[in-house]
Structure 1
């Protein structure tokens, strides 16, 4: 049963949040009258409003608002007499359209609709229950680190595009461009002319200092540098592009340093959490994806009653729509995008690191599925496995799972099934 039905509240509040102010609608328990108001997004104003509410109604007070995290949520979580109930923005928007098909919208009206949803559909909403400080820290760290990785990719793409304008050879000499090596090279030799003027010994020392030990590869790079022909000699192109490349290199270097710092913080926090042991040795997880998987599951095991709920919440489970004689399946549009990204990115890593995962992926591709569809289908299966491991606090064991597949006669094992039954680990 929903806590909204179990717990008696002294008052009900709907909030429509904004950047500079928040519209509110309040209704006392046992009363039908509603009061509307507005508070500024200032610490003092929020504190005064919350304390006034407490002096007037006592507690607990139910508060409905259309987000689960953000400045206003952080501000209201300080008050133990307020119980926050997140409302999906899409739910509130559809509820508004049901009564205002014209599309009319205003902030005070949305605050009243949030209050309506709490009062008339209490079984649909659960209270916001924050996880422990270390877990919430980890969740924030991995999300922000992934944003920095996105910045790294964008800067690298822009850098490559700029080099193609006047200095394309640099892209041929380095396969991995989002590295300190690439940044140092371009910062020292931002034009073809500058690198061609460098002595061979200087170039060799540079590559050795950056842990490039392959003599043949270094020799091939230097030979390519000596024989390279300029794309253009026009100073009007080279000058501005050179400055732009140096600016992008400085930004990329700062992002790379920040990612390293985030990795250190994530490792320090993740190892303090007892459930980390369930994820750190998963196939393909590693130091980057293991903390993200831990953050995806969290520590509140009652949050998801089944693997099916997690699959739907993460956006991995497909959606089926039926109308008349038509039926079609598509992927879930409304979901936490970072959570779905975590499962999909990790599932892709397991293709070459887990025997059954690779076999399942190839099976899906043979059926005509695209790479992305096949990876999402693999993520769907992995969630069911990890959910059971998470609930029982049992680390995943590939051999145990392969034996279970062999007992069921799974076609994924093929001719390897007999060896698995005998306890062989050769398929792993």
Structure 2
């Protein structure tokens, strides 16, 4: 238990060496050492703490800036009580020890340990995540990276087409799609488009199940008047695009694999939750509840489960809205009072909640009414979406607390009744 803690440790972590300061309950410095990052070094850190304190790991509280990583995982795995703090907050605590702004590793370790002793409420206690959640978090972040890389490559491809073949880009808004890449490989230039048969184009469209376009329309578009370009321009652009196409095929395949992994891991979490419900079929798991909400798809679901795991488990609406960046920040001094947007938040969770509210106003009547009411009060689109997101998070925590799925009628009634 946290109340049984009698030893306080501050760790100023680094890439190669970690500075550790050990304090007793009165704030006296018992010891200070530096440990090399690695299996042997972290094991030595654990043994040193246990030897110096002669106490059980649960009675030793550790403060660190980094809320994850091998140091945190090692300490949690061996039963230590670990707390994290934002570096900006730590900077404020540092002013207690020096007004001159001095800073070094030893001082930071001391500040961490002593601040945890005196201001424990400013720290966030960490817990070991479920192994499935850890894997799901990695796939979720990998999916974001892949989508961003796909967008970058698509923009470069469109720019090269603009140089010599702009009519090809008129066929689709997504030039990174596999069918368009296959089409370009078949007809990479206007000259090739003039010679290709309609049957060959129809075969590509059929293989990729493209029904919104037919071969005749595709050929008519590709055979529009070509640009006049300098000799060598087409060849140079084709060289560049050929390199992009190979990478985009790989990216598209990896995105499919990541999507399948996200679905499989979410299903695994749902199965675990059903097993933990002791066979009570009337209780719904968190994954099923989240999936029942309009606007929560594969990516948003994975982001909520991984980036907001602890607030969701605690049904902590206030922590969730602050972490997602929808809770406003009030600054008041004397007669002046400002309410501004929260910038200190989890950016991935902020993006996911933004897209959730964006889709929700299209599919949920209550969310749409909330959005329209905020717009009528003079709020901009982004501000109105944050207001919708705030209301959605509140209702989500209520459904998680009561273990009930989303129901449109109940949601509408709740929204109307809420001031």
Q: Which interval holds the TM-score relative to the shorter structure?
A: 0.7 to 0.9
Aligned-pair distance for 1:100? 4.1
| SS of alignment partner, residue 316 of structure 1 | coil
| SS of alignment partner, residue 314 of structure 2 | coil
CA contact under 8 A between 2:354 and 2:389: conserved in structure 1? yes
Instruction: Tell me which residue corresponds to 1:342.
Output: 352
Instruction: Tell me which residue corresponds to 1:159.
Output: 157
1:367 and 1:333 mapped to 2: Cα distance? 23
Within a 5 Å distance, the mapping from 1:371-410 to structure 2 comes to 371-405=381-415, 408=417
1:283 corresponds to 2:294 = yes
| SS of alignment partner, residue 194 of structure 1 | helix
| SS of alignment partner, residue 180 of structure 2 | helix
Instruction: Tell me which residue corresponds to 1:422.
Output: none
CA contact under 8 A between 2:136 and 2:306: conserved in structure 1? yes
Instruction: Tell me which residue corresponds to 1:77.
Output: 76
1:142 and 1:230 mapped to 2: Cα distance? 42
The change in CA–CA distance for 1:109 and 1:187 in structure 2 (over 3 A counts) is farther
| SS of alignment partner, residue 115 of structure 1 | helix
Instruction: Tell me which residue corresponds to 1:209.
Output: 207
Instruction: Tell me which residue corresponds to 1:260.
Output: 256
Within a 5 Å distance, the mapping from 1:157-196 to structure 2 comes to 157-196=155-194
The change in CA–CA distance for 1:17 and 1:165 in structure 2 (over 3 A counts) is farther
Instruction: Tell me which residue corresponds to 2:116.
Output: 118
The change in CA–CA distance for 1:245 and 1:348 in structure 2 (over 3 A counts) is same
1:361 corresponds to 2:371 = yes
| SS of alignment partner, residue 291 of structure 2 | coil
| SS of alignment partner, residue 322 of structure 1 | strand
Q: What TM-score, normalized by structure 1, do the two folds share? A: 0.85
Aligned-pair distance for 1:101? 4.8
1:29 and 1:404 mapped to 2: Cα distance? 49
Cα root mean square deviation, aligned: 2.5
The change in CA–CA distance for 1:101 and 1:238 in structure 2 (over 3 A counts) is farther
| SS of alignment partner, residue 127 of structure 2 | coil
CA contact under 8 A between 1:186 and 1:246: conserved in structure 2? no
Within a 5 Å distance, the mapping from 1:231-270 to structure 2 comes to 231-235=228-232, 237-270=233-266
| SS of alignment partner, residue 279 of structure 1 | helix
CA contact under 8 A between 1:25 and 1:36: conserved in structure 2? yes
Question: Once structures 1 and 2 are overlaid, which stretch shifts more, 11-20 or 143-152?
Answer: 143-152
Deviations 1:294-339 (A, max 9, x none): 445537766354x233212322111011122211111112111111
Within a 5 Å distance, the mapping from 1:73-152 to structure 2 comes to 73-80=72-79, 82-97=80-95, 99-152=97-150
2:313 and 2:220 mapped to 1: Cα distance? 62
Q: How many residues align?
A: 401
CA contact under 8 A between 1:97 and 1:103: conserved in structure 2? yes
- Unpaired runs of at least 5, structure 2: 271-284
1:90 and 1:211 mapped to 2: Cα distance? 52
Aligned-pair distance for 1:229? 0.8
- Unpaired runs of at least 5, structure 1: 411-428
Question: Once structures 1 and 2 are overlaid, which stretch shifts more, 147-156 or 100-109?
Answer: 100-109
1:348 and 1:269 mapped to 2: Cα distance? 25
Instruction: Tell me which residue corresponds to 1:41.
Output: 37
CA contact under 8 A between 2:167 and 2:224: conserved in structure 1? no
1:227 to 220, 224, 227: 224
Instruction: Tell me which residue corresponds to 1:319.
Output: 329
The change in CA–CA distance for 1:296 and 1:387 in structure 2 (over 3 A counts) is farther
| SS of alignment partner, residue 20 of structure 2 | strand
Q: What TM-score, normalized by structure 2, do the two folds share? A: 0.87
2:65 and 2:36 mapped to 1: Cα distance? 18
| SS of alignment partner, residue 105 of structure 1 | coil
